[in-house]
Structure 1
Amino acid sequence: MKSYPLKFIPEMKERVWGGNSLAKFGLPVKENSKIGEGWMIGDHPNGTTKVANGELAGLGLDEIRSKYGELIFGTKGINSPNGRFPLLLKLLDCEDDLSVQVHPGDDYAGLPEGELGKTEMWYILEAKPGAKIIYGLKPGTTRESLAEAIEGKRILDYLQEVPVAAGDSFYIPAGTVHALGAGVLVAEVQQNSDTVYRLYDYDRPGLDGKPRELHIEDSLNVIAYEGAGATRMTTEVPGPNQWLKLAHSPYFIVEKGVVNGRWELQTSKETFVIHIVCEGSGQISWDGESMPIKAGECLLLPASLENYQLEGNLTVLRSYLP
């Protein structure tokens, strides 16, 4: 196989808090729908994306893993703990508030069989005026005080609200209480996991008209009450064709770059590279070939691709394995 940048057919997920704003990126979203998540690149039992372009078109990411392994994933990527692609890349449309939730780490005994923990990061693509998120607990909160607040329906008194704007970045290690608020579009890079423990869901019904399940005991068990190492930052890149590191975890590194003109880059044999195009348009070139790219697209660059170029006026996120 001759290596080339892979685009995927996204898996669109309906959510009670979703809307139809992902349609602006050309994603398959119907009017008046409640699409909350576009799984752009993923290999999970709840959704595996298929290649949309080139020689490998129609193959799922799981099939690529079994057929091409190290050529695509790299020496690090092929050795993920559960044997699947190690990351899950999403675009999120938060028309309404998400549930207040927390994710377990890899070592939590209550994880479903075959599931990993969930450390993630958010990059805010768009935010309506006044948009906020919940990001951590107020200082001094303990398991006991939080349990009492939940019992007394006072949990919101113990949560930190943070205003957000386009370009903000949030690193969310497992154990961090969090919730996206209404009015934001988000790019998310996370471990390949779909485990969510809900603490609070505003007493609203789900898409089936029934209250969504809460996971109080699991949540209280996995929360890092003294802090999990969550960090946030505004993301002004110092200049064109330079990387600004947004997150460095044991599971992924995420960087932001602004392309102005032509930028010479390369992959390594250790890890694939993922590019999320946040703004603008341009093209990616490799080995005498090129392909147009635009906002909302996600590309998986095989570890074996080696030299490539980004051109145009683009804001991109780059993700790879540490």
Structure 2
Amino acid sequence: MAGLYPLKFNPIYLEKIWGGNRIKTILGKDFSSHPNCGESWEISAVEGHISEVSNGFLKGNNLTELVEVYMGDLVGDKVYKKYGLEFPLLFKFIDANDDLSIQVHPNDEMAAERHNAYGKTEMWYVIHADKGGLINAGFNRQITREEYLEYLRNGKLTEVLCYDEVDPGDVFFMPAGRVHAICKGVLLAEIQQTSDITYRIYDYDRKDAQGNTRELHTDLALEAIDFTYLEDYKTKYNVEKNKSSEIVHCEYFTTNVLHFSEEVEKDYHLLDSFIVYMNLEGRFSIEFENGEEVIEKGETVLVPASLETFRLVPLTPDVKTLEVYIK
């Protein structure tokens, strides 16, 4: 069996009522057939949206087929034992040209019971924000379930939500149960569990081109919401140049940011997981035993678990990429 190599996939572009064109103008991705592209699914095993390889001898194979054939060599033995044939993470770029609906996601237990699926814990890394661009994460004070329902019924829910003005590099961790929304003018990278279950709470009474409002899931959401109030929802982290700097760690994924201008040697003998790079700035190559793969700005690549050592080589003066795996 031929050796595995860093895998790229054809992006899956999704048209959204709130989508724009920053995935093209900022990240350089071509979605000419989608004038309002809200999301680029970079690596996905969600049913109906399963990614296909775009490079190398495995070109045309989909992600689920790869896991079936390569198992632990692709995802790591520990990951394969836990998730089986289901690739456990979904990677996206999201462009909000208008406010997204206010929403919440169920946890694993609730999602399994209601949908026979995994829950949805996720994180956001802000790539671009227009001046005044906002993100909602959680509530702006401690409120009760009854107060929440009263604000919702009166169309005043936004009055009790916490909104942060954001800048590039800001990070938000969104555990299942936290009410949240991306607002107009924000482009971000999203890393999440493989799940497409979203409970839409409020959508600003928007109508689509046919004059229809979008479906809301207020009753389902009510049971999913965690009403815990935090003073600060933004993730604090420090970056050390030319080294992987951890920004989020949870049971589902670990995400580092790697800002580098010189070669970086990687040795992941002890990790037992695939590694994904979402490249945000510059371009670089991954040099490994049997070759190299060049990663352009806006590209996402999956490094199989069997490639335990490799080198990241900057091809521009500065590179910034997200690095994701499962510990």
Both proteins in one fold, TM over 0.5: yes
Q: 1:208 and 1:119 mapped to 2: Cα distance?
A: 33
Q: 2:231 and 2:120 mapped to 1: Cα distance?
A: 14
1:27 Cα offset (Å): 2.3
Q: Give the letter for the 1:77 counterpart.
A: V
How many residues are treated as equivalent by the alignment? 321
1:264 equivalent in structure 2 = 265
Of 107, 110, 123 in structure 2, the residue corresponding to residue 108 of structure 1 is 110
Corresponding position: 1:316 with 2:318: no
Matches within 5 A, 1:2-41: 2-24=3-25, 25-30=27-32, 33-41=35-43
Q: Give the letter for the 1:258 counterpart.
A: H
* 4+ aligned runs moved over 4 Å, structure 1: 109-112, 227-231
Contact 2:253–2:326 (Cα < 8 Å) also in 1 = yes
Q: 2:95 and 2:150 mapped to 1: Cα distance?
A: 32
Contact 1:102–1:196 (Cα < 8 Å) also in 2 = yes
Q: 2:229 and 2:312 mapped to 1: Cα distance?
A: 38
| Distance of aligned partners of 1:117 and 1:229 in 2 relative to their CA distance in 1, 3 Å threshold | farther
Identity within the alignment, %: 35
Matches within 5 A, 1:74-113: 74-81=76-83, 83-108=85-110, 112-113=114-115
Of 196, 204, 215 in structure 2, the residue corresponding to residue 194 of structure 1 is 196
Report Cα offsets for 1:88-132 as digits up to 9, x if no partner.
Answer: 000011111000001110011675533210000000011111101
| Distance of aligned partners of 1:205 and 1:234 in 2 relative to their CA distance in 1, 3 Å threshold | same
1:233 Cα offset (Å): 3.0
Report Cα offsets for 1:60-107 as digits up to 9, x if no partner.
Answer: 001101111111011122134474100000001111100000111001
Q: Give the letter for the 1:6 counterpart.
A: L
| Distance of aligned partners of 1:108 and 1:270 in 2 relative to their CA distance in 1, 3 Å threshold | same
State the SS of the aligned residue for 1:157.
helix
1:209 Cα offset (Å): 3.5
| Distance of aligned partners of 1:52 and 1:212 in 2 relative to their CA distance in 1, 3 Å threshold | same
State the SS of the aligned residue for 1:148.
helix
Matches within 5 A, 1:129-144: 129-144=131-146
| Distance of aligned partners of 1:147 and 1:166 in 2 relative to their CA distance in 1, 3 Å threshold | same
With structure 1 as the length reference, what TM-score do the two structures score?
0.94
Q: Which has the higher strand share?
A: 1
1:231 Cα offset (Å): 4.3
Q: Give the letter for the 1:264 counterpart.
A: E
Q: Give the letter for the 1:241 counterpart.
A: N
Q: Give the letter for the 2:128 counterpart.
A: E
State the SS of the aligned residue for 1:51.
coil
Q: 1:230 and 1:140 mapped to 2: Cα distance?
A: 13
Contact 1:267–1:273 (Cα < 8 Å) also in 2 = no
With structure 2 as the length reference, what TM-score do the two structures score?
0.93
Structure 1: unaligned runs, 5 residues or longer = none
